[in-house]
Amino acid sequence: MNAYVTGSTIRRLREARGLTQAGLAKRLDVSDKAVSKWETARGFPDLTLLEPLSAALGVSVMELLSGDPVVNRNRSANLLRSRFYVCPICGNVIHTTGEAVVSCCGVTLPPLEAEEPDDTHAITIEPVEDEHYVTVDHPMTKTHHLSFLAYVTPDRFQLVKLYPEGAAACRFRFQRGGYLYLYCNHHGLMRRKL
């Protein structure tokens, strides 16, 4: 794990819940001096207290560790707010439909930032019956390859996982609007509006 809960996070979340140091201490069955030490960075909560501490502060353990509470703003679903995450250790591809705290292999993952495809990642789209055949002229070696292609509209999400030494191609059922994403293991996430 590359982070641990900070005193400023504990204080901010405690105050947001309207708890005193003594009130939080009572919920955790520790002394208010212990809570004071955590908040002034003169000590850390024991690992066994992370779950009870996060419950008392009304956040998940991941939110507590990252210091970024996830707030449900109750917005209607829209897949165009999609975020992609790729684990640098195992290669997992993780998709969320908005902001999230995502962790894989013990590492907190940042959301990928999409750029416009360059000439070395040129996308070709050909209609084939009721689908579109998407190809990318890109090497697919074990060291340099595309990991996935995805097509996202406001109400649909399609992802095709690609593998080294395979084809950098797939078929999608296109609708009006949306975005086509590709992920290169050397150059990152790219997005083209359709």
What secondary structure does DSSP assign to 119-188, as a single string?
GGG-EEEEEETTEEEEEE-----SSS-EEEEEEE-SS-EEEEE--TTS-SEEEE---SS-EEEEEETTTE
| Higher-pLDDT residue of 75, 32 | 32
pLDDT tens readout for residues 97-107: 887 889 999 88
pLDDT(154) > 90: no
* DSSP code at position 115: B
Give me the pLDDT at residue 2, please. 46
Picking from 16, 128, 7, 108, the residue whose alpha carbon sits closest to that of residue 63 is 108
pLDDT(7) > 50: yes
> What φ, ψ does residue 21 adopt, rounded to 5°?
-60, -40
pLDDT tens readout for residues 28-70: 999 989 999 999 988 888 888 889 998 998 888 878 887 776 6
The mean pLDDT value for 88-97 works out to 91
CB neighbour list of residue 84: distance below 8 Å, 6 or more residues apart: 93, 94, 95, 111, 112, 114, 150, 181, 183, 189
**Residue 178 CB coordination number (10 Å):** 21
Give me the pLDDT at residue 73, please. 58
> What φ, ψ does residue 134 adopt, rounded to 5°?
-105, 125
